[in-house]
Amino acid sequence: MNWDQIEGNWKQVKGRVKEKWGQFTDDDLDVLAGKRDQLVGKLQERYGIAKAEAERQVVEFRTAYEAEYEKSKGARSPSCRDTASWNSWRSGFTSRTTLVNSS
């Protein structure tokens, strides 16, 4: 996941940003609108940290968010067993429909 994807999903991401950096206001988050460079600058301003530290924290956040996103994406994927069950049911249904229509 690159930063463009985070920016595109900012409405979902900003809750996580506020959890991590609680000193940000809702207005701050709306103004940031997912812009990475503005997030780094706002971190420096709010927390009084150096640019390098702000950059490190943003990279750490992105990595953690990416891992969480990938984990949740995998959890929603159907398992092979579910797919096999569906295909079995569907083929049985098709067979029964064919028999009924041929009679």
Tens digit of each residue's pLDDT (9 = 90 or more) over 27-72: 999 999 989 999 999 999 999 999 999 999 999 999 998 888 788 8
Max Cα-Cα span within the chain? 80
8 Å CB contact between 37 and 3:
no
Tell me whether residue 68 is exposed, middle or buried, using C-beta atoms within 10 angstroms of its C-beta: 0 to 12, 13 to 18, 19 or more: exposed
pTM over the 0.75 mark: no
pLDDT at res. 95: 44
Show the domain range for 73: 3-78
Q: Is the pLDDT of residue 87 over 70?
A: no
Spatial separation of the C-alpha atoms in residues 1 and 13, rounded to whole Å: 13
Which CATH number covers residue 55?
1.10.1470.10
91 lies in some domain: no
**Percentage of residues in the chain having pLDDT higher than 90:** 43
Domain count, the chain: 1
